Structure 1
Amino acid sequence: MITRPVPSFKTIVREVWKPLTLLFVWDVIVTVVYFVLPFRAPQLPLTLFGSVVALFLGFRSNSAYQRWWEGRGLWGLMINASRNLARATRNFLPDPEAADLKRAVVFRQIAYVNALRCQLRRQPLDEATLEYVAKADAQIAIDRANPANGLLDGAGRKIADAHRAGLIDTVQQSAMESILVDMANAQGGMERLKNTPLPNHFRFFPMLFVHVFCVLLPFGLVETLGFATPLGSTLAGLMFLAVLAIGDDLVDPFANSVHDLPLCAMCRTIEIDLLQSVGVEAPKPLTADGKGILW
């Protein structure tokens, strides 16, 4: 996620420079032809065209942002549920009989959120995940088709074992199980966002209309702007192409790009809170790198 208060103009141009270069060349061609040949293109209702394109882009950008914000909300629920699980584990399980079980549940939860992060980003389980998997003795869980769900199931089994051992009562077990249900629901929502892209027509038609509008733009500006048409048309096209790129950047909040959710930082937040809840030394929070990117 980009944390700078003002987006970098260089970053925007880097994403759209190819179509922008083609647009500039096309604008130059139209301008030269206009002044060299006696041909005059008919006046185009660019205001009407631009309004329609803007409506399409606005709707698409709003849809993409809603997906991004829903992903952030689901991870907020995951952070809160992780804290609730750690607090219930610490308060319900007695000391010193269940000290090892407390740590096992906490380590498994940290492994769970990191495994979920890797799954959503389509990455193999990284060192941070495997480290806590080993601490929680949860190797069998990560061998499943859905390692994150396997780790969550294992946490439920440990809570059930604690109930059978008389360490917690039925009410406490039910309270802890409800927290796991909240996590499973949040994970399901994240997987839905990841596995269900925007429908094809939401992506194809705005792209098509923007490019057609950019092609027609110099015909409507050349009579007014004259030799300044390539500059004016390219700047106007930059605005439309930038909004189009923004929609592409936000549509998948888990794609592991600079525009997506900082899953690593949120997993580190969970790790810090949970380790401190059981008295274990915790690492420092992640911060943005020198380019203002928080992963």
Structure 2
Amino acid sequence: MHIKKTYSAFEMIMWTRFETFFFLVLISIFVSIYYFFGLEWLRIPWTPLALIGTAVAFVIGFQNNAAYGRIWEARKIWGGIVNTSRTLGMYLQDMVTNEYSQSPVDDKDLKFEIKNITYRHIAWMTVLRHSMRMPKPWETTYNHKTNKEWDTKPPERESNLQDDLKPYLSKEDLDYIADKNNKQTALIYLQSHHLRELKEKGILWEFSFLELEGLLQELLSLQGKSERIKNFPYPRQFATLNYYFMWIFVLMLPLALIPQFAEIGSEIASDHEWLGSVFVWFCIPFYVLVAWIFHTMERIGRTGENPFEGTPNDVPISTIARGIEIDLRQNMGESLENIPEQFPVKYHTQF
């Protein structure tokens, strides 16, 4: 699984500390009521609760597998964008030539055409990553307090799309996509129109034109797959019910766990009276551990449902897109000082 933030034990504890404190307070209240007020009737049989716990564990496992599948598919899609982009850059440099041109143009003009198409492709990736970072109503993980406290915002939340596009697009291209709802698709259309013009001028051989059009088709396909994951959430009936089932189990667990420890304490009391009388308090750390495991596993699955939301565990599409840009511009011969640097890593996290 492509996870960018390597959680240490301390970081995982900090990530779930509010819920862990709630579990500690909850079980302490239950044990205090049981111990000081002698409410031994405040109990439920262990067997039905164990069955509920087993069912919840299965549902959480299903959710985590589904979330992993969405993250892995998203990573493969953007891996495809990496490969197709590199192929596009290579093809442009070797296919946009005067070899079949009836009216040859200067090498400077050829490089200008290659640069325009390459920059428009970089603009396409910029628009696509901004589109993938647009908040959706079902994307709530980013707003969780412990996800925001490390100030790990993706670059798209700190910049404006229009400003990000200006270095790559002409005024005509910017005007063309300004009123389009799907700007990334509009840019692919512009790419196709541009390639057709080069073919008509003889700068691009017909076979080369078809090869490049095939790459545009592949980019459109990858774009559509990425948009499908973004726009179709993990089914809410699974995600919501799983969340409620987990909390039902966690809140009912003290009513079965405390009597079990009390019975063990009664058996110990025959040999060690004091230890047996306070043994019920030992259920506190055990309950906190069990509740923490169930809650954390459910939250991990919930965090992985939306791989483009912009949290530390999502697919690093900003870093991927910037890496492609650096590769393309370096291979066009641009100097390093003119190429933007890779987005910085924050708290061991790439975006």
What is the CA-CA distance between 1:15 and the residue it aligns to? 4.3
Cα contact 2:199–2:209 (8 A) shared by 1: yes
Pair 1:43 & 2:41 matched:
no
Q: Measure the CA separation in 1 of the matches of 2:176 and 2:121.
A: 12
Q: Measure the CA separation in 2 of the matches of 1:88 and 1:13.
A: 50
Which residue does 2:166 correspond to in 1? 130
Greater Cα shift, 221-230 or 149-158? 221-230
Cα contact 2:4–2:312 (8 A) shared by 1: no
Go from structure 1 to structure 2 and tell me whether the alpha carbon gap of 1:14 and 1:130 turns closer, same or farther (over 3 Å shift): farther
Cα contact 1:3–1:288 (8 A) shared by 2: no
Which residue does 2:348 correspond to in 1? 292
Which residue does 2:177 correspond to in 1? 142
Q: How many residues end up aligned between the 2 structures?
A: 292
Q: Measure the CA separation in 2 of the matches of 1:235 and 1:38.
A: 24
Question: Partner letter of residue 38 of structure 2?
Answer: L
**Cα displacement string for residues 178-205 of structure 1 (whole angstroms, at most 9, x for unaligned residues):** 0000000010011111111111111111
Greater Cα shift, 95-104 or 83-92? 95-104
Which residue does 1:151 correspond to in 2? 187
Question: Partner letter of residue 21 of structure 2?
Answer: T
Which residue does 2:150 correspond to in 1? none
Pair 1:84 & 2:87 matched:
yes
Pair 1:205 & 2:238 matched:
no
Question: Partner letter of residue 184 of structure 2?
Answer: A
Cα contact 1:15–1:245 (8 A) shared by 2: no
Cα contact 1:218–1:230 (8 A) shared by 2: no
Go from structure 1 to structure 2 and tell me whether the alpha carbon gap of 1:258 and 1:93 turns closer, same or farther (over 3 Å shift): same
Q: Measure the CA separation in 2 of the matches of 1:129 and 1:271.
A: 13
Go from structure 1 to structure 2 and tell me whether the alpha carbon gap of 1:69 and 1:2 turns closer, same or farther (over 3 Å shift): closer
Q: Measure the CA separation in 2 of the matches of 1:258 and 1:126.
A: 25
Identity between Structure 1 and Structure 2 (%):
24
Q: Measure the CA separation in 1 of the matches of 2:325 and 2:304.
A: 26
Higher-Rg structure is: 2
Structure 1 segment 173-192 matched on structure 2, within 5 A: 173-192=209-228
Question: Partner letter of residue 250 of structure 1?
Answer: G
Go from structure 1 to structure 2 and tell me whether the alpha carbon gap of 1:42 and 1:119 turns closer, same or farther (over 3 Å shift): closer
Q: Measure the CA separation in 1 of the matches of 2:310 and 2:166.
A: 20
SS in 2 for 1:138: helix
Which residue does 1:22 correspond to in 2? 22
Q: Measure the CA separation in 1 of the matches of 2:172 and 2:321.
A: 20
Q: Measure the CA separation in 1 of the matches of 2:165 and 2:53.
A: 49
Alignment TM-score, normalising by the size of structure 1 = 0.92
**Cα displacement string for residues 230-277 of structure 1 (whole angstroms, at most 9, x for unaligned residues):** 221111111111111111111111111212111121011110111122
**Cα displacement string for residues 99-122 of structure 1 (whole angstroms, at most 9, x for unaligned residues):** 210000011111110110001101
Cα contact 2:71–2:307 (8 A) shared by 1: yes
Greater Cα shift, 33-42 or 228-237? 33-42
Aligned-residue CA RMSD (Å): 2.0
Which residue, 317, 320, 333 being the options, matches 1:263? 317
What is the CA-CA distance between 1:80 and the residue it aligns to? 0.9
Go from structure 1 to structure 2 and tell me whether the alpha carbon gap of 1:127 and 1:9 turns closer, same or farther (over 3 Å shift): farther
What is the CA-CA distance between 1:128 and the residue it aligns to? 3.4
What is the CA-CA distance between 1:81 and the residue it aligns to? 0.9
Q: Measure the CA separation in 2 of the matches of 1:121 and 1:4.
A: 19
**Cα displacement string for residues 119-165 of structure 1 (whole angstroms, at most 9, x for unaligned residues):** 1101551633332124x852134312111111111111111110011
User: Which ranges of structure 1 fall in alignment gaps of 5 or more residues?
Assistant: none
Q: Measure the CA separation in 1 of the matches of 2:230 and 2:3.
A: 21
Cα contact 2:86–2:328 (8 A) shared by 1: yes
Q: Measure the CA separation in 2 of the matches of 1:287 and 1:38.
A: 57
Which residue does 1:121 correspond to in 2? 133
Go from structure 1 to structure 2 and tell me whether the alpha carbon gap of 1:58 and 1:126 turns closer, same or farther (over 3 Å shift): farther
User: Which ranges of structure 2 fall in alignment gaps of 5 or more residues?
Assistant: 99-106, 135-155, 262-279
Q: Measure the CA separation in 1 of the matches of 2:225 and 2:349.
A: 25
Greater Cα shift, 28-37 or 38-47? 38-47
What is the CA-CA distance between 1:11 and the residue it aligns to? 4.1
Go from structure 1 to structure 2 and tell me whether the alpha carbon gap of 1:139 and 1:197 turns closer, same or farther (over 3 Å shift): same
Alignment TM-score, normalising by the size of structure 2 = 0.78
Q: Measure the CA separation in 2 of the matches of 1:20 and 1:141.
A: 53
